[in-house]
Structure 1
Amino acid sequence: MTALDGILKEPLDSEEIMETIILPRNIPRGAREEIASILYREIVLGEDYEIRDARRFIERLGVFYLLFISLKASGEWAKLKSLAGGSHVSRIILLKIILNRVLDLLDSPGLIDHIWKGGLSESMLPYFEQFKAMLEKTMELWYRRVKSERPISLEAPSSVGLNDVGLVEQVERYQEDDGSRQFMGLLARNALLAISESVNEVEGHLASLETLSLLFPGRGWDHAMLELHRACYASLDKYSKLVELNEDLRKMLDGIGRSEAEPGVRRASPAGHGRSELYSITTSNDLQHMLPVESVKLQDETLKALFFARWIEGKLLTYQLIGKGLADGPRKKRGPMVALVDTSGSMHGAPEAIAKSVVLALVRRMLKEGRDVKVFLFSSVDQYTCIELTGSRRMASEFLDFLSNTFEGGTDFNTALREGLDALKEHEYENADLLFITDGLSAVSDELLLARLEDMKRRNGTRLYTIIVGNDDAGGLSDFSDHVFILARAGAGGFNGPEIAIKLISAKHK
């Protein structure tokens, strides 16, 4: 394993990035992977990739050095990185767009001329021709290494031939020339402007794309997935905006669900202090668990200094070990949730829209945090649909159908509560809380069910949250709910806008 294998693992494990890397090109696969790795660290990990040895970088990746430093020097680069925000999906999409553009430019020099509107000026043509000549040498370098089966690695000892050294000197001279720097600056700016246009096209879809990636984990963005996005975008966008725009709704969702550190929540889980099994590769100053490739540096006087510098900075490649056990101290991670959603005819209209918005926001949050959630859609007696969204079972299509279907039918809270309590018997949900989402126009009449609920609260610390939509009164639900939230109109905007006030009318702490 080379020193870069640990870095390459993450982008290569992403099907979306693999689709770009494996696309047939003139650029050899090893060079495409290396370029993808560097851009991955910049865009997805948010690092400021530092080239510590320019000559060695050029020996491995040739004119990509000029393109990379020119892209980073452009003001557009920082703007593009900021567009990714905190969403992993948006970062992956942005990386795909940038990686495709960079590989296109290196693969087909003729494309450089096309990114200038009106073509290249006479003054820039000589620098373009020099760049093309260096690119041809770079291709020769890459293919010589493919034939000799020498891996491309920035950490490997340097042993280049005369032609490679000539390429290094050419690139260095080219970089020092004012006209060449002007050409590369214009090339980077125009390339990034073209990238920005592509990014702007998908920027408004990032939230729905992220939701689909959570519902269909590990699935690449093939034609079927894109068609699914086109079909579902309207409802995903409609129901996600309400919660995004309402800070009170977001705060309410933050408070729903128990932390795993609370009483009644004791389960074996991966603990950072465990050392029973290999989990991944990371960077740290842990000498006991560093990769063998790092110790090789100690045998070379030049690399020894690099080893100690990385040790002090905590950047040695090390094995990340993890074990099963109960973690000590408070845990921020919250437990699973069972949601009971009223789909009766009385919920039609604004209450239905609010309920779907809350459920969508809840499911997105649960999946992002790696928490299991089970959604029961209930109406008349013994009429319900169960949608399970867990690590082992992801009923994504059924959940999308729920967002697109209209609510109708009667209301029977007894059915809903019975199914919710039965779900708490399952091992995955034994420490879950219950969430009712309804207009409250019914009541639980089964005394045995209420007794089971109270017993579950005493034994497991189970809590029941109720969210009332389209009504100012929780009715009999407040008698056995631990927390009741009333979502009421806050202004003329009504339920169709972000103007929703949340009133907590009951807070029982048992």
Structure 2
Amino acid sequence: MRQTAFDATSLSRRFDFLEACPEHLLSEVVTLPIGTLEERVNGVRAWQDALLLGHLPAVTCWPPASIGNPVRLALQSLGILRFTRGQPDLVDTLIKDILAVFAERQDSFQSKVMSRLRELEALEHQRLEADELARAKRKKHLPRAIILDPGCLLRLQIQAEGEQSAQLVSIDAGLYDLWSERVRAWASIADVFDDLGQMLGRGWDLTRGVLRHSGWLDLLRLRKLLEQLPRLREIIQALGRLHLSEDGESVSERVFVPMRRLAEEMRQIRTPHIPNEMRGVERSGEIARMLPAEATMLVHPQLRLLWHARRADRSLTTYRVEGVETERVGAEREVMKEIEQKCPRPQRGPIISVIDTSGSMHGTPEQVAKALVLEVLRTAHAEKRRCLALTFSGTGDMTEHELDLSPEGIGSFLNFLGISFDGGTDIGGAMERVVSRLKDNDWKKADVLLVSDGEWLAPERVISMVKDARNEGTRFHGILIGSANRHGFDTLCDHIHIFMDWEHAGGGQVR
């Protein structure tokens, strides 16, 4: 009887599909009592991939609708799908909670099925007993004991499962309540910043910290103010266009670069597989090349077995043949090629916002200035640019806040919102600090935005310093809040935007 060798690798190949299961979810997937193990692995992977893309998996995807639909309704009602896109940490946490809900609903579903199954078995038992009593009465003998056969039990179980699956599926309240507070908080932040950036990956504690900050209410008011001031938003959008090259010029240069080209060559290889010429005798198992003396052994009745043994050992005396084979091969060669390339001038650098926080800016100008910084921050975040807010008033009263959507940047911006505008106006000290910052590598290519009411005159030394920075490529943009005294802006800025929309901002007459 032929025996086949045991293939030890067949056991591991049977579970190759487990490689698709995220390692941190393996224990939950293995113990989940819904479907086969392979169905669970593929289903969890489908849920993870869909949530990372910001939508739900197909309706036909695992698990069955009676268990999966309440979760789908909860996720849709929460509005959490807008936040799961590209956020693996959030998706991993959410899927763990989803799997826990699946397990709970499966237990509840099975409990209801068993309860209904017992009711159906009792009704079927009563029906069969009544039929047996009637039959026994007609035939005048004792009734037989009623036992439900396996076929009947299977039919009743299918009926019980179908009835439970057909019931109206409601939203899963547990999952909704677990995530509703967090999603509402994220939605509040997203309404201000358009998206959460990298904040979702930082955890729930950061979100709560932002919402509890004293400057958060100011931030909400500023966001509403921006919606009421379309002119202010147009200024920021125009500022973004000014970041582009005004003449569209670019630097063209001719350079020599090494390039590797694939050339085809013909190569001759000596090989025994082409019998063009005989080169001697050798031992092998090739019957076509064996000597005539070996062939005589094959037909001899006593030497035939010896011939077979020698062939098996590849020890037959055979001719050694050799030939030349020509083949095409690809060979890389390095050559120097002259090319012309266009190098666009660097136009998009960081943004330095210089905000006048003197006493003359108190009130509505202060709110407009802070709303302006909020819009600049949003623009810098969208364009992946660094953003620095420098506030100044009297001599020595100057602060710097580097703003972004990191935990530190959000906290710094909220602290900036808490600053009260008061004091004098030291434009010289502020612009000297800006020019000093422009010499740092991180801020060398920055665009400078000056926001003030223009109640100052710049010293000559500062005008000279700013002029030198402008000659080196830095552009100074000014936003004059009000129309009074723009002479100082003319000496410092390339482009000046005048804001006078006080009616929507709630302000009074322009000074």
| C-alpha contact 2:352 2:388 (8 A) present in aligned 1 | yes
**Post-superposition offset of 1:225:** 4.9
When residues 100 and 386 of structure 1 are mapped into structure 2, their CA distance, relative to the original with a 3 A threshold, is: same
1:241 aligned to 2:224? yes
- Larger mean Cα displacement after TM superposition, 361-370 or 88-97: 88-97
When residues 333 and 422 of structure 1 are mapped into structure 2, their CA distance, relative to the original with a 3 A threshold, is: closer
| C-alpha contact 1:387 1:398 (8 A) present in aligned 2 | yes
| C-alpha contact 1:44 1:95 (8 A) present in aligned 2 | yes
When residues 199 and 95 of structure 1 are mapped into structure 2, their CA distance, relative to the original with a 3 A threshold, is: farther
| C-alpha contact 2:450 2:476 (8 A) present in aligned 1 | yes
Out of 476, 482, 486, the position equivalent to 1:464 is 476
Q: Find the counterpart in structure 1 of residue 358 from structure 2.
A: 344
Structure having the higher Rg: 2
Q: What is the distance in 2 between the residues matched to 1:175 and 1:464?
A: 77
| C-alpha contact 1:434 1:463 (8 A) present in aligned 2 | yes
Q: Find the counterpart in structure 2 of residue 256 from structure 1.
A: 239
Q: Find the counterpart in structure 1 of residue 211 from structure 2.
A: 229
**Post-superposition offset of 1:485:** 2.0
When residues 79 and 435 of structure 1 are mapped into structure 2, their CA distance, relative to the original with a 3 A threshold, is: same
1:487 aligned to 2:483? no
**Post-superposition offset of 1:39:** 4.3
| C-alpha contact 1:441 1:475 (8 A) present in aligned 2 | no
Listed one character per residue, the Cα deviations across residues 187-242 of structure 1 (whole Å, up to 9, x for unaligned) are 447678768965784476233785996596853222x6514421243122122222
Counting only pairs closer than 5 Å after superposition, residues 272-351 of structure 1 correspond to structure 2 as 334-351=348-365
Q: What is the distance in 1 between the residues matched to 2:397 and 2:233?
A: 31
Out of 358, 367, 370, the position equivalent to 2:372 is 358
Q: What is the distance in 2 between the residues matched to 1:33 and 1:245?
A: 51
Share of identical aligned residues, percent?
22
Q: What is the distance in 2 between the residues matched to 1:38 and 1:399?
A: 39
Out of 166, 170, 181, the position equivalent to 1:182 is 166
| C-alpha contact 1:89 1:206 (8 A) present in aligned 2 | no
Q: Find the counterpart in structure 2 of residue 126 from structure 1.
A: 113
- Larger mean Cα displacement after TM superposition, 42-51 or 370-379: 42-51
Out of 104, 112, 130, the position equivalent to 1:108 is 104
Q: Find the counterpart in structure 2 of residue 431 from structure 1.
A: 445
CA RMSD, 1 decimal: 5.4
Listed one character per residue, the Cα deviations across residues 347-391 of structure 1 (whole Å, up to 9, x for unaligned) are 222111111111122123313432111111111124311222479
Q: In structure 1, the residue corresponding to 2:498 is in which secondary structure?
A: strand
Matching residue's letter, 1:182? A
When residues 212 and 43 of structure 1 are mapped into structure 2, their CA distance, relative to the original with a 3 A threshold, is: closer
When residues 204 and 217 of structure 1 are mapped into structure 2, their CA distance, relative to the original with a 3 A threshold, is: closer
Q: What is the distance in 2 between the residues matched to 1:331 and 1:46?
A: 37
Unpaired runs of 5+ residues, structure 2, are 1-15, 118-153, 252-340
Q: What is the distance in 1 between the residues matched to 2:76 and 2:354?
A: 44
Matching residue's letter, 2:477? Y
Matching residue's letter, 1:458? N
Q: Find the counterpart in structure 1 of residue 122 from structure 2.
A: none
| C-alpha contact 1:464 1:482 (8 A) present in aligned 2 | yes
Q: What is the distance in 2 between the residues matched to 1:369 and 1:4?
A: 41
Q: Find the counterpart in structure 2 of residue 414 from structure 1.
A: 428
Q: In structure 1, the residue corresponding to 2:499 is in which secondary structure?
A: strand
Provide the TM-score with structure 2 as the length reference: 0.54
| C-alpha contact 1:89 1:209 (8 A) present in aligned 2 | no
Q: What is the distance in 1 between the residues matched to 2:199 and 2:47?
A: 25
Q: In structure 2, the residue corresponding to 1:431 is in which secondary structure?
A: coil
Q: State how many pairs are aligned.
A: 361
| C-alpha contact 2:388 2:402 (8 A) present in aligned 1 | yes
**Post-superposition offset of 1:337:** 0.6
Unpaired runs of 5+ residues, structure 1, are 13-17, 114-123, 131-169, 268-326, 502-510
Out of 421, 442, 457, the position equivalent to 1:443 is 457
Q: Find the counterpart in structure 1 of residue 53 from structure 2.
A: 45
**Post-superposition offset of 1:125:** 3.8
| C-alpha contact 1:112 1:187 (8 A) present in aligned 2 | no
When residues 246 and 491 of structure 1 are mapped into structure 2, their CA distance, relative to the original with a 3 A threshold, is: closer
- Larger mean Cα displacement after TM superposition, 39-48 or 395-404: 39-48
When residues 388 and 201 of structure 1 are mapped into structure 2, their CA distance, relative to the original with a 3 A threshold, is: closer
Q: What is the distance in 1 between the residues matched to 2:429 and 2:195?
A: 30
